[in-house]
Amino acid sequence: MTDLQPPDYPEGTEESPPFWTPWRILYAIIALIVIITFLAYILWPLLISLTQPPPPPPPTEPLPRV
């Protein structure tokens, strides 16, 4: 049978830098704020129109007296 062993890595390998650096966190927060602002700008008229009651009916002219 063959023995399964993990591959040998050279001793001097460096780990990759972390993905979430402080600048990337800042950029992600700014991007989220921009996206939420854009969606609110686009969807706000729809939200207002859905929550408003229907307009009152137009006034009718009074009937003439007989």
What confidence score (pLDDT) does residue 43 get?
A: 92
- pTM, 2 dp: 0.54
Q: What are phi and psi of 7, to 5 degrees?
A: -65, 150
Model confidence over 3-61: pLDDT tens digits? 677 666 666 667 788 899 999 999 999 999 999 999 999 999 888 888 888 888 888 88
**Region of residue 30 (left: phi > 0; alpha: psi -120 to 50; beta: else):** alpha
Residue 24 to residue 51: CA distance in whole angstroms: 38
1 against 10, higher pLDDT: 10
What confidence score (pLDDT) does residue 62 get?
A: 85
What are the helix (H) ranges across the chain? 22-51
